[in-house]
Structure 1
Amino acid sequence: MKTTSIGWHVLYVKSRHERKVHDALKELSIDAFLPTVTEQSKRVDRKTIIQKPLFPSYVFVNISSSMDFYKTLSVNGACAYIRFGTEYATVRDVEIKKIKLLIGANDLTEFETDADHLKVGDIKKISYGSLSGLECEILNVNNTNKVIIRINSLQQNIKATIPSYYFEN
Structure 2
Amino acid sequence: MNWYVVYTKPKWEKKVAEKLNEIGIECYCPLITQIKQWSDRKKKVEVPLFNSYVFVQLQDTDRNAVFQVAGVVRYLFWLGKAAIVRDEEIVTIKKSLTNTNISEISIVPYKKGDKIKLEDGVFSSQDAVIQEVTNTHYILVLESLGCVLKMKYKKESF
TM over 0.5: yes
Is the Cα–Cα contact under 8 Å of residues 33 and 61 in structure 1 kept in the other structure?
A: yes
Which of these residues, 20, 33, 36, is aligned with residue 25 of structure 1? 20
Quote the residue 2:87 is aligned against: 93
Structure 1: how far apart are the matches of 2:69 and 2:35?
30
Matches within 5 A, 1:97-136: 97-110=91-104
Superposed CA offset, 1:36-87 (max 9, x none): 00100021211000000000100000012512x1010221000000012302
Is the Cα–Cα contact under 8 Å of residues 26 and 56 in structure 2 kept in the other structure?
A: yes
State the secondary structure of the residue aligned to 1:109.
coil
State the secondary structure of the residue aligned to 2:69.
coil
- Let me know the Cα RMSD of the aligned residues: 1.8
Structure 1 pair 93/102, CA: closer, same or farther in 2 (3 Å)?
same
State the secondary structure of the residue aligned to 1:45.
coil
Q: TM-score, with normalisation over the residues of structure 2?
A: 0.63
Matched-pair identity in %: 33
Is the Cα–Cα contact under 8 Å of residues 32 and 49 in structure 2 kept in the other structure?
A: yes
Q: Which runs of 5+ in 1 are unaligned?
A: 1-5, 113-120, 122-169
Quote the residue 2:71 is aligned against: 77
State the secondary structure of the residue aligned to 2:7.
strand
Is the Cα–Cα contact under 8 Å of residues 2 and 60 in structure 2 kept in the other structure?
A: no
Residues matched between the structures, number:
107
Give the letter aligned to residue 55 of structure 1: F
State the secondary structure of the residue aligned to 1:23.
helix
Give the letter aligned to residue 29 of structure 2: L
Structure 1: how far apart are the matches of 2:58 and 2:105?
27
Q: Which runs of 5+ in 2 are unaligned?
A: 107-118, 120-158
State the secondary structure of the residue aligned to 2:89.
helix
Rg: which structure is higher? 2
Structure 1: how far apart are the matches of 2:104 and 2:65?
35
State the secondary structure of the residue aligned to 2:17.
helix
